[in-house]
Structure 1
Amino acid sequence: MTSAAPASPAATPWRLVLLLGALTAFAPMSIDMYLSSFPAIGQTLNAGPEQVQLTLATFFAGMAIGQFLYGPASDRLGRRAPILLGVVIYTIASLTCALAPNIEVLLGARFVQALGGCAGAVVARAVVRDRFDHAETARVLSLMTLIMGLAPVLAPQLGGLIFAVAGWRAVFGVMALFGLAIGLWVLLGLRESRSEETAAQARAENPLRAFGLLLRKKRLLGYGIAGALNGSVLFTYISTSPDLVMGTYGHSPLVFNIVFAANAVGIIGASQVNRLLLRRFKPDEVLTRASLASTALALVLTFFAWTGVGGEWTVLPLLFLALSTYGLMSGNTMAGALSVDPRRAGSISALMGGASFGAGAVAAWAAGLLHDGTPRPVAAVMFACLVGSGLAIFLLAVPRKPAAA
């Protein structure tokens, strides 16, 4: 028997959802737009493929570190100021990327670009928790995934078009324009939402103490580990998919873009299924069932990847299904974490986002280290991450029902 969510959810604040969704799109825009430019960047800057690949790793590192700065700052100073500061940093760093004379400058600029861009995502999640309860937070986060999910669909196509017309430097120029546009939107359209209770709590404690107290909360730890490992599946796919589709399976960049976009559509679709399921079920109920489904799919994917049965015709469809479950899990792990201690929503958002990018970087590195020209490492890393995510959900995050007397 399930416990239904409120039967009549409040009207969706679409203007706010669109803005917050755009704020969370900094990372996918900054990652996906330039993937097809890798060879040209290497040729222009006289850098090897492994050096160009590092520009992605440094971006992940900047996203992980920066969130630990903006989260506590948004609790202490308010939501708007950290976002605007981050947008300014992102825009300047994007222009620096566009003008980079060598690979070293590009690596440094990408790190700083991430330090700025992560402000949007971490503070946007805190804004959602400021305004909505647990169930509504999960619904709004699913809607934000719909907006954010358009970036992996559109960004590779847009980046490829810009690259073909004006070269890879222009791709980073467009990123700078994106940052400028979002900054103006925030300046004119986002009201302050941090409560006085949150402000008082933040002023009364050191940010490090806040993180320490939060990490002692068993449920938050469970949601955090689950969210980080679930996100690692996505990062592993992003970092390995060009080599898998174009290298292992020998497809053209056009086919790669189609496959990449199809998987993004799968995640978007699952996030909207999640929004509908939340009308009948609690977020934790959806989360536990999605976790079981994702682990089962990853197990089947691993079997076919290791045996080679069916080749790409089994691996790619199973990869699509396994990735799609991200849309069922990400919003619910985040909503669950934010509900543990709403007064520290910014710090919780920072922990969740930083852990996700940190774990994602490790998972992507592991998949690269195990690279053998087959889909086996990708499948194995994804399966291990989803098993760990499931254990965190069932052992730590989801409250156990008390035993009958």
Structure 2
Amino acid sequence: MTTHLSPGRHTTHPGSAVPTPSVPTASVPTPAVAGPSVVAPAATLGPAPTSLPERAEPAAPDAAATAPAFRPNAKYVLLLGMMCALPAISNDIYLPSLPDVARDLNTSATAAQLTMTAMMVGGAMGQLVIGPLSDRFGRRRPVLIGVALHVVTSVLCALAPSILPLIGIRVAQGFFNAAATVVAMAVIRDRFVGADASRLISRLMLVIGVAPLFAPSVGGLIAGEVGWRGVFGALGLFGVALWLVVWRRLPETLPPERRRDGGMRTAMSGYRRLFRDRHFLALALMPGLGNAVLMSYVVASPFVLQEGYGLSAHEFSLLFAVNGLGLVGGAQVNAALVRRVAPIRIIRVALPLSVAFTLGLLAIAITGWGGLAAILVALWLVLALVNLAPPNASALALSRHGEIAGTAAALIGAIGIGVSAVISPLSGLLGGDSVAMAGVMVGAAVAALLVLAVATPAYRRGGAWAA
């Protein structure tokens, strides 16, 4: 039996910048999302079973039902998308310069690649620190400071005299870039929950997915004209432009009365609360495992397609862009689906399909059936599904802890970076061929499905509403 769900309508309290969903009129109690005066829309969770424990909070005043809804326009989505994409752009625009860095600084290729890893390590640490700070001081101040320091570190990278200072500065750059990503996700949770949050995150994927596709080409052009140091100059200019747009266009979404007082002890109490919530941790793991499927492809595909199947660099770049369109298209399909289907229901279908498609890819890689054409079709189908589960899992995880949205977004991001950093290099260690790539993708997809089945009630009776 198919259940048709319609999205809840968002309203704004008079005098408050934080919209809250209108109160459903159903007679069955609906669980409320933690956070001041925010009640999860019936569209997101569906009718709640009577046995489900309530987490209800005071309902919004009747006057709020007539207030205008906040509707994010294209400029708002673009701003949040560029904030989320800042770390990816900072790495991808620099990719073509790695051989030049190794040659110019008289170091090895491995040491040059460490400048990429260093930024990921810095990003994971930055998310964990900046998330609680955004719950304490609001959203605008941390992101403005973080993006400003991105500009400073970009200039310092351009001036680096040797590889060791460059690695250290890249750690710092990743740390400060994390402010943009954490705040963007926290801003979404401040204003949206459930299906509406998932739909907005999916729209962000259009920006997050497209920007890195062009970043290597832009970086290669810049490096070819002015050298690798000019790439960091361009990153600095991009940071200046982003800072100005954030300063002018990003409103404060966390009013003073909702901010958390205290220092490190308060931050640690927030993380302790999150780690005690097994359901949250399960949902927070899924974006990382989905990203591990994607990163396994990104890391291994140059060797698989160019060395294994003999594609030229130009042909590989074209196919990489086509697969990128699959990624972006999948996210937009999800944005349309969540208008009528609850996010947890999408996850329950998307993850088994992901396992089936990755197993098909592995079978083609082992048997060689269909040759290059079959590999490319299977890859496209796998990648088109990658962005269906993560936006929904992130939105559901954030909805459980709206009162510490910055801390929750930070932990989701840090887990995602950590999981993908551990899993994605495995394809190279296992041989770097198509079988190794597909095997790692199967492992990540199966792990995501097991987490959903074991650590959440998604496949249990009533699980479509309990999530």
TM-score by length of 2: 0.81
Range moving further from structure 2, 68-77 or 30-39: 30-39
One-letter code aligned to 2:400: V
2:215 equivalent among 155, 160, 171: 155
- After TM superposition, give the deviation of residue 248 of structure 1 in Å: 3.1
Q: Deviations over 1:154-190 (max 9, x none)?
A: 2122122222222222112111111111111111111
Range moving further from structure 2, 245-254 or 266-275: 245-254
Separation of aligned partners in 1, 2:383 and 2:398: 24
Separation of aligned partners in 2, 1:59 and 1:325: 27
1:394 equivalent among 453, 459, 463: 453
- Does 2:386 align with 1:385? no
1:71 touches 1:348 (CA, 8 Å); kept in 2? yes
One-letter code aligned to 1:383: V
1:367 touches 1:381 (CA, 8 Å); kept in 2? yes
Instruction: State the match for 1:4 in structure 2.
Output: 5
Separation of aligned partners in 2, 1:373 and 1:344: 41
Separation of aligned partners in 1, 2:295 and 2:422: 9
Q: Deviations over 1:184-222 (max 9, x none)?
A: 111111111014454147779621121111111122011
Separation of aligned partners in 1, 2:401 and 2:238: 33
Instruction: State the match for 1:90 in structure 2.
Output: 150
One-letter code aligned to 1:388: A
2:183 equivalent among 123, 131, 149: 123
1:319 equivalent among 351, 362, 379: 379
- Secondary structure of the 2:259 match is helix
Q: Structure 2 matches for 1:2-401, cutoff 5 A?
A: 2-6=3-7, 11-196=71-256, 198-200=258-260, 206-370=266-430, 372-399=431-458, 400-401=460-461
Q: Deviations over 1:105-138 (max 9, x none)?
A: 2222221111111111111000001011211101
Separation of aligned partners in 2, 1:198 and 1:232: 35
Range moving further from structure 2, 122-131 or 394-403: 394-403
One-letter code aligned to 1:393: L
1:245 touches 1:251 (CA, 8 Å); kept in 2? yes
Identical-pair percentage: 37
Separation of aligned partners in 2, 1:287 and 1:233: 16
Separation of aligned partners in 2, 1:163 and 1:209: 46
Separation of aligned partners in 1, 2:421 and 2:307: 21
Q: CA RMSD in A?
A: 2.1
1:71 touches 1:346 (CA, 8 Å); kept in 2? yes
- After TM superposition, give the deviation of residue 373 of structure 1 in Å: 4.3
Separation of aligned partners in 2, 1:256 and 1:398: 42
Separation of aligned partners in 1, 2:81 and 2:418: 22
1:5 touches 1:135 (CA, 8 Å); kept in 2? no
2:122 touches 2:171 (CA, 8 Å); kept in 1? yes
Instruction: State the match for 2:57 in structure 1.
Output: none
Cα distance, 1:275–1:49 mapped onto 2, change above 3 Å: same
2:290 touches 2:387 (CA, 8 Å); kept in 1? no
- After TM superposition, give the deviation of residue 7 of structure 1 in Å: 7.2
- After TM superposition, give the deviation of residue 3 of structure 1 in Å: 4.5
- After TM superposition, give the deviation of residue 58 of structure 1 in Å: 1.5
- After TM superposition, give the deviation of residue 33 of structure 1 in Å: 1.2
One-letter code aligned to 1:391: L
1:68 touches 1:351 (CA, 8 Å); kept in 2? yes
- Secondary structure of the 1:206 match is helix
Gaps of 5+ in 1: none
- Secondary structure of the 1:325 match is helix
Range moving further from structure 2, 336-345 or 358-367: 358-367
TM-score by length of 1: 0.93
Q: How many residues align?
A: 402
Higher helix share: 1
One-letter code aligned to 1:136: D
Cα distance, 1:217–1:198 mapped onto 2, change above 3 Å: farther
